[in-house]
Structure 1
Amino acid sequence: MFRKVTTSFVAAAALTAASNGAMAAETINVGLCVSWPGYAMLEIAQQKGLAEGYEINSVIFDDPLGGHAALAAGQIDIYECTGDYTPLAIERGTGVVNVALANPSYGVDHIILAPGVTAENIEGQSIGAPQAYIGQLQMGVWLDSIHVPFDSVEWVNLLADEAVGPMLSGDLAAAYLYEPWITKVLDNLPGATSAADTGEDWMLKTGIFTDVIYMNGDFVANRRAAALDMLKARFEAVGWWNANTEEGNQLMSDFLRWPLADVESVIGTNGKYLQGGIYMYDFNESAQLCGAMEGEPPFGIGNGSIEKVITTINEYWVRIGLMTEVQDASKGVDCSLMEELVEAGYSQSLAAH
């Protein structure tokens, strides 16, 4: 699908340049690891003209690991996804870097239990969670909190939409789900319950359940001006959405092919957050998490905590058995783009309306 979209765009761009006698815009290839409102900001930047001189080509993968492979190979330049892959990228030497924390889950991610399943009887049963993704991380954190050994359950590698059927048919004791899949299960499976969600204070404070902005390392090194412009454009789009939330949500609905109500059930209608959904960091909050700007970011995570967040994720991957050792988190982070924008005087602080 990516090749077809890119080929079509390149052909169209060439025809436009030829007919207008103008220089073609610089193409930036952006990946969304799944169809998700929080990942759509660069598409808004493209549609609202917030990235002048660039043509942003957005591709939805609905395959987080496949998207990471495309980013490492240079097929895409920027990738919006969850931050839990960062330690794996370091271990595998992909050259991919995490340039900013974009938005934490603010209660949209849940662990849902089948009827009759409790912390006391879940051992030995099958649980659904996508491998090397936020779902497996949250499931591991929850199992840890109820003192259930990670190897005492059978892990089944399923994305949230893939887990709905097995939950309804009784093949899974528990699953990682987010909206709209939570509602579909709870409404159609009497007795199913939510055991934990990422809006709980103790989960928020870890900072580990967060979406991030990844960039290909060569893109940052060799097309640095474009990398800076794209990072700024992404936050400019957040600002535009804050001021034009109703229109912005409709743009996301059209782009993602989601019902508008489903978009609003994730990202809200106040231009900043939805409790039970996600919380959109503004530029200043994200810069604080990088340690590029003074001040305290939300939820008690701490200024300059981005590497600590990645290390905590890495420690869980080792315990779950996905990795064998804790990597140097600094090798997977590049906050220099944020620092350069701060030094240039860029600032953005947004409030809910």
Structure 2
Amino acid sequence: MLEVKKTTRWALAAMLAAATITGVSTTATAKEQINVGACVSWPGYSFFEIVRQQNLAPDYDIDISIFEDPLGGHAALATGQLDVYLCTGDYTPVAAARGLDVTNVAVQNLVYGVDKVVIGPGLEPEDLRGQRIAAPQAYIGQLVMGLWLDSVGISPDEVTWVNLNADEAVGPTMSGDLGAAYMYEPWVNQVVDNLDGARIIADTSAPELMETGIFMDVMYMNTNFIAEHREAAIDMLKARFEATAYWNEHTEEVNQAFADYLQWSKADIESIMGTNGKYLEGGLYMLDFNEVARICGVMDGAPPFGIENGAMESIVELTNEWWIKLDLMDEMLADPSDAFDCSLVADLAAQGYRQDFSAR
């Protein structure tokens, strides 16, 4: 697991105090530390490393941790160990239902086919009833698998769910222990290229899935951090978009930086991020600020892929409905707007911030 060494706020304060006692000058204003988490090693969650490398938030000391454990990262955010957390949007209604100090402040990108269902040799969708199906519980993979099974007439209770992430599902799929599995690159090719008859049976680039808007990566923040450090919260949001713009303009450079940071090959990065600075069919579609503001409903205009302007509430509702079907939640939220906070996006837009970029 990649993890950058953390320095807590109290430790920083202690060092400054010690410097004062020993006579070392501290007249320069100390940078505010922001603790950022990524739920897994993933290029789409690595833009704050570009913020650091390019000094896009010069007033802040940004500390980044990669958890390789989405729920563990959410727990750290809820307890205030993190200020900002980058992960999939599926946890949004769960956090609200549990009353956690967590809110979804902005969509970051749409999954444009990167999330896939791989089916085993000799199997058709109708053969999966009673089979073992792999997907990570309470994560985007379970939603992808659930919606796809539903589309082929199989209900969630007609299969045996196995809680595995994409990398963990490779071995059981290769051995024939699984009928189908949720996967993303680079794990998909490891199976399809080496297991005769295995194939991709579905992915999230399907128009009927894209227009739902539920398959996305988002930025979460601790609500106390927003309340007590609102200017910093807005600055972090802006810095993330500035890093995306830098990637758009310097795609090859940033893809290499992602590869170095995550210790992946550049080819694996490009299999997710593409090379045109905007999207890759079968990978990710990176949203610019204007598109995010439209999804939040704070800027006029149509979001991409048929998503409605102001779709955040319907996205939360649909995710909530599916978590009930998958037995992760018991009931619908009384008010889905409690699960997200588009006010930071609205404030940034009100300040005149705009960003509109396309594939080069």
Residue equivalent to 2:293: 287
**Superimposed CA distance per residue, residues 148-198 of structure 1 (whole angstroms, 9 cap, x where no aligned partner):** 011110001111111111111111110000000000010111100111101
Could you tell me how far 1:8 is from its partner in structure 2? 8.7
Counterpart code for 2:208: W
**Aligned pair partner of 1:351 in 327, 337, 358:** 358
Residue equivalent to 2:324: 318
**What TM-score does the superposition give when structure 2 sets the normalisation length?**
0.94
Distance 2:101 2:122 in 1: 46
Change (3 A) 1:108 1:20: farther
Contact between 1:104 and 1:211, CA under 8 Å: does it hold in 2? yes
Change (3 A) 1:267 1:240: same
Residue equivalent to 1:94: 100
* Other structure's SS at 1:59 match: strand
Q: Which runs of 4+ in 1 moved over 2 A?
A: 1-4, 7-15, 17-24
Could you tell me how far 1:117 is from its partner in structure 2? 1.8
Contact between 2:7 and 2:63, CA under 8 Å: does it hold in 1? no
Runs (5+) with no aligned partner, structure 2? none
Residue equivalent to 2:189: 183
- Alignment pair present for 1:141 and 2:147: yes
- Alignment pair present for 1:6 and 2:6: yes
Could you tell me how far 1:225 is from its partner in structure 2? 0.6
Residue equivalent to 1:113: 119
Could you tell me how far 1:23 is from its partner in structure 2? 2.7
Q: How does 1:75-224 map to 2 (within 5 A)?
A: 75-224=81-230
- Alignment pair present for 1:276 and 2:282: yes
Distance 1:13 1:44 in 2: 28
- Alignment pair present for 1:240 and 2:285: no
Distance 1:337 1:58 in 2: 21
**Superimposed CA distance per residue, residues 41-79 of structure 1 (whole angstroms, 9 cap, x where no aligned partner):** 111111101001101111111101111011001110101
Distance 2:182 2:197 in 1: 17
**What TM-score does the superposition give when structure 1 sets the normalisation length?**
0.96
**Aligned pair partner of 2:338 in 311, 331, 334:** 331
Residue equivalent to 1:303: 309
**Aligned pair partner of 1:342 in 336, 344, 349:** 349
Contact between 2:79 and 2:101, CA under 8 Å: does it hold in 1? no
**Superimposed CA distance per residue, residues 243-272 of structure 1 (whole angstroms, 9 cap, x where no aligned partner):** 111111111111111111111110011111
**Aligned pair partner of 2:232 in 226, 236, 244:** 226
Distance 1:48 1:120 in 2: 51
Counterpart code for 1:5: K
Contact between 2:112 and 2:204, CA under 8 Å: does it hold in 1? yes
Distance 2:67 2:344 in 1: 26
Contact between 2:4 and 2:63, CA under 8 Å: does it hold in 1? no
RMSD across aligned C-alpha pairs, in angstroms? 1.9
**Aligned pair partner of 1:48 in 54, 59, 75:** 54
Distance 1:292 1:13 in 2: 42
Distance 1:125 1:177 in 2: 17
Change (3 A) 1:126 1:245: same
* Other structure's SS at 2:127 match: coil
* Other structure's SS at 1:326 match: coil
**Superimposed CA distance per residue, residues 274-312 of structure 1 (whole angstroms, 9 cap, x where no aligned partner):** 111000000000010000111101000110001111110
Residue equivalent to 1:66: 72
Counterpart code for 1:225: E
Contact between 1:13 and 1:24, CA under 8 Å: does it hold in 2? no
**Superimposed CA distance per residue, residues 71-114 of structure 1 (whole angstroms, 9 cap, x where no aligned partner):** 00111010110000111101111121100111010011100001
Runs (5+) with no aligned partner, structure 1? none
Counterpart code for 2:220: Y
Counterpart code for 2:328: L
* Other structure's SS at 2:5 match: helix
Contact between 1:110 and 1:177, CA under 8 Å: does it hold in 2? yes
Distance 1:352 1:233 in 2: 20
Could you tell me how far 1:24 is from its partner in structure 2? 2.3
Distance 2:261 2:3 in 1: 19
Distance 1:69 1:114 in 2: 35
The number of aligned residues is 352
Contact between 1:101 and 1:306, CA under 8 Å: does it hold in 2? no
Counterpart code for 1:341: L
Contact between 1:26 and 1:53, CA under 8 Å: does it hold in 2? yes
